[in-house]
Amino acid sequence: MKLPRWIHQFGSPKYFYELSLWLSRWVAIVCVICFVCGLYGGLVLAPADYQQGDSFRIMYIHVPSAWMSLFIYMVMAVAGGIGLIWRIKLAEIVARSSAPIGASFTFLALVTGAIWGKPMWGTWWVWDARLTSELILLFLYLGYIALQSAFEDRRVAARAGAILALVGIVNIPIIHYSVEWWSTLHQGPTITKMDKPSIHLSMLIPLLFMVLAFKTFFISTLLIRARSEILEYECNASWVKQLLGSNNVTK
Amino acid sequence: MSLNEFLSMGGYGTYVWSSYGISALVLFINVIQPVLRERKTVRELQKRFQTMQQHQPDSKS
């Protein structure tokens, strides 16, 4: 199967590098604005929950982290798959750069969940479906990262990692539906019931800001990580020499 | 709302602030690490290109 030409152009490391320079900056600015709005709304403006009191405010980091842990895994697996099939270097770079950010968010989802669980459920941890499958997700990320450093050749590592990520995709629907398939301590979805979300607007709007903040955080740090990777991959390319050659020593 | 009231979070202060603290720390590391790495990569490549140019001074004016 052939890809349209613009995809290859976008996938050209030089083009992407230049685009990412200003994109990462602007996305970071949006990210900071969303964090300020989300934190102010979530910690100050939103009223305490009638059942959970103020402990529900952990939601504003727990829920976005958990969503991002799944989202980034999908990005990693799809980018890995694209790299595997069409050998697009940039896709391999995106997959590899996503892994540490995804692992961080998975870690945060687990830790904030435990801290929230202690006062609400009376326990830090239970071996139920949602928590266990999320823990497996963390191990998938860590396995991917370990695999990346196990190979000398970056491209071989990328291919091995992509296969691991694609196999591990099975876990994603399991995490998502675990609260419906098995009886669990973890509550069911409250936000994604779009017809009638069971959460008040004053609590929902800060959450949406936090979700956007986490998403833009991922995009801008992903771009920075990808730039280092591109320079290392392409260190013999003429455009890198031109960019960083002694004529252009600015930093 | 007083500051003390805000910090106590209706008795859940320890839980709320520890989760926000850990998250802030993890996000901070996720910003600093790639920024430092990019700087290091750029510096190393610049150095490498400089020594390359010194060895072949006529390759590029």
What is the spatial distance between Cα A132 and Cα B6, in angstroms, rounded to a whole number? 34
Contact across the interface for A244 and B49, Cβ inside 8 Å: yes
Measured between beta carbons, the chain B residues lying within 8 angstroms of A104 are 26-27, 29-30
Give the end-to-end CA distance of chain A in Å, rounded to a whole number.
Answer: 43
Q: Tell me which chain A residues have a C-beta less than 8 angstroms from the C-beta of B46.
A: 244-246, 249, 251
pTM: 0.89
SS3 A49: strand
End-to-end CA distance of chain B: 67
H, E, C per residue of B8-39: HHHHCHHHHHHHHHHHHHHHHHHHHHHHHHHH
pLDDT for residue A197: 59
Tell me which chain B residues have a C-beta less than 8 angstroms from the C-beta of A237. Answer: none
Give the pLDDT of residue A200. Answer: 80
Residue in chain B lying closest to A102 (CA): B30
CB within 8 Å: B30 and A221: yes
In angstroms, the CA A83 to CA A96 distance is 11
The pLDDT value recorded for residue A195 is 56
User: Rounded distance, CA A121 to CA A131, Å?
Assistant: 13
pLDDT at A238: 85
Asked if the C-beta of A24 comes within 8 angstroms of chain B's C-beta atoms, the answer is: no
Q: Does A201 touch chain B (CB under 8 A)?
A: no
Interface of A with B in 26-45 (CB under 8 A): 43-44
Taken as a whole, chain B contains a residue count of 61
Spatial contact of A175 and A110, defined as CB atoms under 8 Å apart: no
- In this predicted structure, what is the pLDDT of residue A14? 85
* DSSP track, A106-170: HHHHHHHHHHHHHHHHS-S----HHHHHHHHHHHHHHHHHHHHHH-SSHHHHHHHHHHHHHHHTT
Residue positions counted in chain A = 251
Q: Does residue A100 belong to the interface with chain B, where contact is any CB pair within 8 Å? A: yes
CA distances to A25, A29, A226, A231, B27 from B30, rounded to whole Å, are 15, 16, 13, 19, 5
Residuewise pLDDT in 10s, chain A (251 residues): 666 776 666 668 888 898 999 999 999 999 999 999 999 998 888 888 877 888 889 999 999 999 999 999 999 999 999 999 988 889 999 999 999 999 999 999 999 999 998 888 888 888 888 899 999 999 999 999 999 989 988 889 999 999 999 999 999 999 888 888 877 778 776 665 555 556 788 888 999 999 999 999 999 999 999 999 999 888 888 888 888 875 554 44
Neighbouring-strand partners of residue A53: A49
A246: which chain B residues are within 8 Å (Cβ-Cβ)? 46, 49-50, 53
pLDDT at B41: 92
Q: What separation in angstroms does the CA of B37 have from each of A251, B41, B42?
A: 15, 6, 9
- Which residue(s) pair with A49 in the sheet? A53
CB contact under 8 A, B22 and A112: yes
Among residues B29, B9, B24, which one has the least CA distance to residue A116? Answer: B9
Q: Chain B contact for A104, CB < 8 A?
A: yes
Structure tokens that stand for A16 in this block: 């992407």
Could you list the pLDDT tens digit for every one of the 61 residues in chain B? 688 888 888 888 889 999 999 999 999 999 999 999 999 999 999 888 888 878 776 554 4
Burial class (CB in 10 A: 0-12, 13-18, 19+), A166: middle
